[in-house]
Amino acid sequence: MEPVSQRLPARSRHVVVRFSLKLAVFLIICGLQTGSGDPNLFSEVTRLAAVLCVVLALHARERPMGPALNYWDEAVVFGLVSRLGGILGFG
* Three-state secondary structure of the chain: CCCHHHHCCHHHHHHHHHHHHHHHHHHHHHHHHHHCCCCCCHHHHHHHHHHHHHHHHHHHCCCCCCCCCCHHHHHHHHHHHHHHHHHHCCC
Which pLDDT belongs to residue 63? Answer: 93
Residue-wise pLDDT tens digits, 31-64: 888 877 777 788 899 999 999 999 999 999 999 9
pLDDT over threshold 80, residue 1: no
Give this prediction's pTM.
Answer: 0.86
Mean pLDDT computed over 3-25? 88
| Domains of the chain by residue range | 11-88
58 or 9, greater pLDDT? 58
User: Average model confidence (pLDDT) for the chain?
Assistant: 89
